[in-house]
Amino acid sequence: MSTSSANSAASPAVSGLDYDDTALTLALPGSSSDPAAADRKRAHADHDKPPSPKARAVGWPPVRAYRRNALRDEAAKLVKVAVDGAPYLRKVDLAAHDGYAPLLRALHAMFASCLVANGAGRLVDAATGAEYVPTYEDKDGDWMLVGDVPFKMFVESCKRIRLMKSSEAVNLAPRTSSQ
């Protein structure tokens, strides 16, 4: 397992709570600024503080074990999916798909309202014709093109997915598979 990178430095290793991962945001994907700062009414989480002991009290929050287990299905691997230009995020369960093809079909279905498949099977913006490629952030915090590594390895290491405009994706170097 790779060592924590700068990206996960904010989350304390002790608790295993990765605030970046769990913080739902309505901001444009990829933007690193705190979207809540402008709105003084919204208390935003302090990502640098470790959770206080009371935050991890037994049986708190009061949610039935059945519900906790149902939402945290061990077999599921939910990751967030962002599309450049779309104002909200979706989630996909990587474990629910057998390989890249069904996964990409599912992604396509998710954003069918704004992206369509062109002749070459690539996703394009229906309005502008700009091509999108699926990319993902791996455990090391690096952004990679989806499809470069064996699927199971991808599922293991993928933290989130971003459908990026091809023009931006040229900067991503394909990764040589290394352990």
Partner 1 sequence: MTYFPEEVVEHIFSFLPLHSDRNTVSLVCRVWYEVERLSRRAVFVGNCYAVRPERLVQRFPNVRTLTVKGKPHFADFNLVPPDWGGYAGPWIDAAARSCMGLEELRMKRMVVLDENLELLARSFPRFKALVLISCEGFSTDGLAAIASHCKLLRELDLQENDVDDHGPRWLSCFPDSCTSLVSLNFACIKGEVNPGALERLVARSPNLRSLRLNRSVSVDTLSKILVRTPNLEDLGTGNLTDESESYLRLSSALEKCKMLRSLSGFWDASPICVPFIYPLCHHLTGLNLSYTPTLDYSDLTKMISRCVKLQRLWVLDCISDKGLQVVASSCKDLQELRVFPSDFYVAGYSVVTEEGLVAISSGCPKLSSLLYFCHQMTNEALITVAKNCPNFIRFRLCILEPKKPDAITNQPLDEGFGAIVRECKGLRRLSISGLLTDKVFMDIGKYGKQLEMLSIAFAGDSDKGMMHVMNGCKNLRKLEIRDSPFSDVALLGNVAKYETMRSLWMSGCNVTLKGCQVLATKMPMLNVEIMNELDESSEMEENHGDPSRVDKLYVYRTTAGARNDAPDFVKIL
**Least Cβ distance, residue 42 to partner 1 (angstroms):** 5
Task: Rule CB under 8 A: choose which of 14, 37, 38, 43 binds partner 1.
Answer: 43
Q: How many residues bind partner 1 (CB under 8 A)?
A: 47
Cβ distance to partner 1 smaller for residue 57 or 127: 57
Nearer to partner 1, 67 or 177 (CB): 67
Q: Which stretch binds partner 1 (CB under 8 A): 66-74, 115-123, 131-139, 157-165?
A: 66-74
Structural tokens at position 23: 């913080």
Q: How far is the CB of 22 from partner 1 (least distance, A)?
A: 5
Give the residue, chosen from 31, 32, 33, 62, that forms a contact with partner 1 under the rule CB under 8 A.
62
For tokens 């890249």, name the residue.
100
Nearest distance in Å: CB 43, partner 1: 5
With CA atoms as reference, report the closest residue to 159 among 142, 175, 174.
Answer: 142
Of 28, 48, 26, residue with least CA distance to 36: 26
Residue-wise DSSP of 109-139: HHTTTTEEE-TTS-EEETTT--EEEEEEE-T
Q: How many residues does this entry show for the chain?
A: 179
